[in-house]
Amino acid sequence: MGKRSRKSKGFFLIYLILLLIIGTSTWFGYNYNKETINNKNEVIKLSKEIQDIDKEIKEKDSDIKKLDKDISYYQNIDQTLKETKNNFYKEIKILEDNILSGKSNRKIAYLTFDDGPYYNTYKVLDILDKYNVKATFFTTNTNGENCFDKKEENCWVLYKEYIKRGHTIANHTYTHGIRRGLYKSKDSFIDAVIKQEELVKKLTDGYVTNIVRFPGGSSTAGKLKTPIIEELRKRNYGWVDWTAQDGDGGKLSSKEQAMSNFKNSINGKIEVILFHDYNGYTTTLLPEFINYLKNNGYEMYPLFYESNMINK
């Protein structure tokens, strides 16, 4: 009996050990599979994250390439605009040549405004914008930084406004001092041209003009006219007077007189028209002047150095 009991205990112990082994194996197997599944899910998750990151990198790379292209464009925009402007002026020069040789019946009018900038210049610019006309502004620093016709306003800001609106800036000397020493000597005149040239560059971040108009007209220089012109040529300047005007630089008694002066002076195939952007009559009549020119077949452009109307 004792022998059988010990044998039964032995089998039970073995059975218990087997159960323990099987249970442990099952537990380890379950946890292994669970960990494997978790690892697999983690790999899938990481893989998706990597794909998303890769996609984002490609998008960023595309954005960078586009940005590089934009930077390159803006770095070259000044050169592009310069080339476009030069090509535009070349076409007008060809048109001028054809008009003067009789090959074309078209007509050109160059609107020019002297003695500014003034606060009233804004009104002039707005009218030109409305009629899509570009003009040339012969600037001087006679009035200094503050507007002569509105002292609390800064008129130097108009230099950039001229360019922004597509007009040409030209040189009317720094002082316009006809009776204040401008025509005292060749050097006094050239110094006033250089000072205005430097002011234009400063206030426009580098705009260069090479067209000048003698205050009062070239005849005002008298015997100094020839030596002044010779010096202007050395500095690659051309000069221009005018062929038509409304008389706003003198004493006008009425709008009717200004309109009569204007119409009576318009008779050529290429006109350089003198206005002043401080004059109320001119500002009021400017839409009528423009319509008159258009109705009589004139195309309006800003002056440029290569034009036949510029004396060089």
Domain-terminating residue out of 56, 76, 96 = 76
State whether 64 and 196 are in the same domain. Answer: no
Domains held by the chain: number? 2
Q: Does residue 87 lie in a domain region?
A: no
Based on the domain organization, do 157 and 241 belong to the same domain? yes
pLDDT at 46: 73
- Tell me whether strands 238-239 and 244-245 are parallel, antiparallel or unpaired: unpaired
Element (H, E) at 17: helix 2-75
Same domain, 69 and 167: no
Q: Same domain, yes or no, for 63 and 139?
A: no
State the residue for tokens 């971040």.
205
Report pLDDT for 303.
97
CATH number, domain with residue 296: 3.20.20.370
| pTM metric for this prediction | 0.76
DSSP-derived 3-state class of residue 167: coil
58 with 166, same domain?
Answer: no
The predicted-structure confidence for 56-95, as pLDDT tens digits, reads as follows 777 777 777 676 665 655 455 456 666 778 899 999 999 9
Distance CA 160, CA 141 (A): 15
| Interatomic CA distance for residues 191 and 299, integer angstroms | 35
pLDDT tens, residue by residue, 270-312: 999 999 999 999 999 999 999 999 999 999 999 999 999 999 9
Are 153 and 279 part of one and the same domain? yes
The contacts of residue 16 (CB under 8 Å, 6+ apart) are none
Please check whether residues 53 and 159 belong to one and the same domain: no
Provide the domain limits for residue 55: 44-76
Same domain for 136 and 188: yes
Beta bridge partners of 171: 139, 212
Indicate the residue among 76, 94, 121 that finishes a domain. 76
Per-residue pLDDT tens over the stretch 154-170: 999 999 999 999 999 99
Residues 174 and 48 in one domain: no
Whether 159 and 127 have beta carbons less than 8 Å apart is answered as: no
Domain co-membership, 69 together with 122? no
Average pLDDT, the chain: 88
State residue 91's pLDDT score.
96
Shared-domain flag, residues 182 and 70? no
